Structures are given as C-alpha cells and as structure tokens.
Amino acid sequence: MKGIILKVALLITLFFGVYLLLFQIDWMQLFQIESRKESTETKLGELFWDFFKQNETELESELIYDSLDSLVKVLCKYNDIDRESIKLHILEKDEINAFALPDGHIVVFTGLIKEAESPEALTGVLAHEIAHDQLKHVMKKLVREVGLSVLLSTATGGGGAETIKSMAKMLSSKAFDREMEKEADLEAVKYMLKAKINPEDFASFLYTLSDPHAEFSRQLAWISTHPESQERAKYVLDAIPYDSQFRILLHDSTWEEVKAELH
Amino acid sequence: MITELRLDTLPTEHEAEKASNSYLMSLVALIGGLPLPIVNLIATFFFFVANRRGTYFVRWHCTQALLSQVSLIFVNGFGFWWTMSIIFGDRSWSNAYFAYIFTLLLFNLIEFIATVFSAVQTRKGIQVEWWLYGEITHRLVKP
C-alpha cells in the first residue's frame, strides 16, 4: 500500500513538474493572443459601426458632439482610460438608447440626450457604456450569444450581411446579463467619483426612466433592456460617499444650448 | 512504465478479445466523445460493469482500463471547465491555461499510446501491467 501511495505522489509531482516547466514558456506571446484579440475586436467594431452609419443618420452638430466629448474626456482623464480608445458616435433617433460596440465604439441616440435632465445624468450613461467596454463585456456577450467561431468568421470577412445585422441589433437592443449590468453601473459610479462628478443625477435618471406611466415609456429602449431600474438607482445612490465634493461639468448655458439644438 | 508478462495459462481467444476491447472502448469513446471528457470514462465503466462476472483475465484488464480513465477524468474535467469559463465566462487566456492544456495533452497522449499498446498486446494474450495502475488492479481484482 505504501508503494502505491508513493507512486501516486510521484505521478502528481510529475504532472505539476511538467506543468511548471511549461508555465515558463510565454504562450501568450508565442501565439500572439493579445494582438489577435485586438484585431478581431477592431474589425468587429468597424463592421458594426458601419452598419449603424449606413442605416441611421449621424448627428452633425459640433456643439453637441463637443459637449459630449468633453464629458467623455473628463471620465477618461481621471480614470486612466485612453481617450483615443473611446469612439463616441451620436445618432439622430428619438429612442432613448445608448450602447457599446466592440473596440470602444459608444453610440448615443439624441433621444437619450433630450431626456437627460443634467450633464451628470448623461455622463452616468456614458460612464456605464464605457465601463461595459473597459470590462470587456461587449466581446463576452457576443461570444455567449453567437459563439466564438461565428465571431471569428465575421471578423475575417466570412459573415454575411444578415449575420452582422442581427448581431448589431442584438448589441443595441438586448441588455447584458444582470451581473454585468450591475458591475457596469458600479464601475460607472467609480469613474464618476474619481472624476468628481455627482452620480446622484444618474441614479435619479434611472429612477425616472423606470416609471411605467411616463409619457416616453414607449421610447425607453435603454431602460427596458436594463431590468430592475429602481433597484439600480438604489445601489448607485448607496455607492456615493456622504462627504464627496463634485465639479461642475458643463455651464448651464452650454447645457441649455445643447438641449435647444436638439428640440 | 509498462511490464509485459507471459502467463502460465494463456487466455482463450474470446477472453483476449474482451480484454483488448476494454482498452479499445476508451479509445473509441475518446474519439466519439470529444470534447466532453466524461464520455470515455462512462463507456469504460459500462464495459467494466458488463464484464464484472467475466474471467479473471477479462476483469483484470477491464479494471486497469477503468482506473486509467478515472485519473485522467480529474485532469481533463478541470481543463474542460477552464476552457468553458474562458469561452463563456469571465476568465481570459493566460500562460497558466496554455501550460495546463499542454500538460494535459501530453499526459493524454502517453495514456493514449499505452492504451493502444495494451489493446494490441492483450489481444495476443499477453499480460500487460501499467506502472501504478497494474499494482492497484492487483489489489482490487482477485482470481
């Protein structure tokens, strides 16, 4: 019996010895995993954004674009996020929606900007979408929904127009799972707090949009795809420390100009 | 690694075939059941159950084949769930993962070669005893 135990121990040691030996090799570098992942994500991002660009109208207002860009810049600056990695797009559409595409493409509909009561509320939504990008939720969702092989074939030009269309629609209209949504919400609050932006308006935006009797409920794509909005508003509020001091994001006059240009 | 023994009483043609099949069973199921690591274990287990009242030679080899699969199930099962958690979960590719997968493949390859060799030799009526597994089998299977 002792002999058997010794042999079992030897076998386990041998297994882990081989493992440790192989662990010394930089497989990630050898297989160029990171660069392959990045190029796949870049190609998918371009494909999906091209789809929206061809089917929707991109907003041409410099004032609105610059205002939103300044919000994204603040978030990026205080959270060590490369601003160049976030590609902000605004589409003229009344639907209250915003979503993230692969490779940092963040798409915001004018309907959502119209409905936001303050720059802080809008920044909350932007921070939420940036969080999805930074936490790699977009690629994870795609892999879960369509599978790795379909994604790779799409990225290498093997996916048909219908496949791209259905994936793009899925990204714009279907929420991430509950766990990912909560993670993105809390990450967004972290981004906002680091940038000294008050997340209270973001929470109240969530709360307002969750009202089923609201006139605009029919247009609420962003909120209807993000379940349990009241609960979300609550944990966003809970994450704010009492003694925080916040910055002014946009001057009231600029915000009013943005709103006026949309109406 | 593998010891070959000449038996005093040679197994009959039927016995040698059954004993050899116990190894083949795991190979066929391995090819058919990829990538699920449990399929070959289940196939070998059912073959073992079906032959548990067989002759000593048949029972002995069914047990050795089953034991070899049992140890690999842990290694392969862990590798399988690690892969799944990368594809569908929150884990990402890493050096640790690739090192584990190549270790797993190496041990599976050794087991595969040993299984093919055992299937061929037992078919000829030669007693084949694996390092460690042969010893455990001797403790479990009595004439």
* Separation between Cα atoms, residue A70 and residue A84, nearest integer Å: 13
Indicate the average pLDDT of chain A. 86
Mark yes or no for CB contact A22/B136 under 8 Å: no
Rounded to the nearest 10 degrees, the angle between the axes of helix A137-146 and helix A33-55 is 80
* Closest residue in B to A144 (Cα–Cα): B88
* Residues in B touching A26 (Cβ below 8 Å): 95
Tell me the shortest Cα–Cα distance from A131 to chain B, in angstroms. 15
In the predicted structure, residue B33 carries a pLDDT above the cut 70 = no
Model confidence over B11-27: pLDDT tens digits? Answer: 778 888 888 888 887 77
Substitution target in A2, A13, A33, A135 with the highest count of B β-carbons within 10 Å is A33
Please count the structural domains in chain B: 1
Residues of A in contact with B136 (CB under 8 A): 4
In A, minimum Cα distance to B108 occurs at: A15
Question: Residue A178's pLDDT is what?
Answer: 81
**Which residues of chain A are modeled with pLDDT < 70?**
159, 209-228
By residue range, what is the domain housing residue B86? Answer: 2-140
Specify the pLDDT at position A62: 92
CA distance to partner chain A, nearest, from residue B107 (Å): 8
